[in-house]
Amino acid sequence: MAEKEETMLDSYKLNVYDMIVNVDIYRSVSGFAYYNISIKNITPTTNLILQKIREEFISKVSIGEIEMTDSEGIEAIKTRFKKEILGLIKKYFPHTDKKTTDLLMNQIIRQNIGLGDIEILLKDSNLEEIVVNTSKEPIWIYHKKYGWLKTNVIIPDESRIRHYATMIGRDVGKEITLLKPLLDAHLLTGDRVNSTLYPISTKGNTITIRKFAEKPWTITDFINSKTISYEAAAFIWLAMQNELSILISGGTGSGKTSMLNVISSFLPFNQRVVSIEDTRELILPKDLHWVPMETRLPNPEGKGEITMLDLVVNSLRMRPDRIIMGEIRRKREAEVLFEAMHTGHSVYATLHANNVEETIQRLVNPPIDVPKQVLPALSLIVVQNRNRRTGLRRTLQIAEIMPDSSTNMLMQLDMVKDEFKEVNEPIQVTETLKLYTGLTKKQIQDDLKEKVEMLKWIVKQNIIDVDKLGEVVRKYYVKKWSGD
Kindly state whether residues 319 and 175 are assigned to the same domain.
no
Kindly state whether residues 167 and 242 are assigned to the same domain.
no
338-367 pLDDT tens trace: 999 988 899 999 999 999 999 999 999 999
Kindly state whether residues 43 and 110 are assigned to the same domain.
yes
Give the model's pLDDT for residue 65.
47
- pLDDT greater than 50 at residue 68: no
Among candidate residues 193, 210, 227, the one where a domain is terminated: 210
User: How far apart are the C-alpha atoms of 103 and 41, rounded to whole Å?
Assistant: 9
Structural domain harbouring 173 = 6-210
Instruction: With respect to residue 1, please indicate whether it lies within any of the assigned structural domains.
Output: no
State the pLDDT confidence band at 1, using cuts at 50, 70 and 90: very low
Q: How large is the C-alpha radius of gyration of the chain?
A: 25
Residue 393: what are its φ and ψ, rounded to 5°? -105, 135
Instruction: With respect to residue 61, please indicate whether it lies within any of the assigned structural domains.
Output: yes
194-215 pLDDT tens trace: 999 999 999 999 999 998 877 8
Give the model's pLDDT for residue 439.
93
Residue 243: what are its φ and ψ, rounded to 5°? 65, 30
Among candidate residues 210, 233, 254, the one where a domain is terminated: 210
Instruction: With respect to residue 379, please indicate whether it lies within any of the assigned structural domains.
Output: yes
Instruction: With respect to residue 177, please indicate whether it lies within any of the assigned structural domains.
Output: yes
Among candidate residues 183, 210, 237, the one where a domain is terminated: 210
Edge-to-edge order in the sheet of strand 407-414:
289-294, 272-277, 322-325, 346-352, 246-250, 380-386, 393-401, 407-414, 419-422
Lowest mean per-residue pLDDT among 232-236, 325-329, 443-447 = 325-329
415-467 pLDDT tens trace: 999 999 999 999 999 999 999 999 999 999 999 999 999 999 999 999 999 99
Does this model's pTM top 0.85? Answer: no
Kindly state whether residues 232 and 169 are assigned to the same domain.
no
User: How far apart are the C-alpha atoms of 139 and 257, rounded to whole Å?
Assistant: 25
Residue 32: give its domain's CATH number. 3.30.450.380
124-181 pLDDT tens trace: 999 999 999 999 999 999 998 898 999 999 998 999 999 899 988 887 778 899 998 9
Q: Are residues 324 and 348 in contact, defined by beta-carbon separation less than 8 angstroms? A: yes
Among candidate residues 401, 357, 359, 406, the one with its CA nearest the CA of residue 244: 401
- pLDDT greater than 50 at residue 69: no
Average pLDDT value over all residues in the chain = 88
- The tally of domains found in the chain comes to 2
Kindly state whether residues 276 and 325 are assigned to the same domain.
yes
Kindly state whether residues 202 and 249 are assigned to the same domain.
no
Kindly state whether residues 111 and 256 are assigned to the same domain.
no
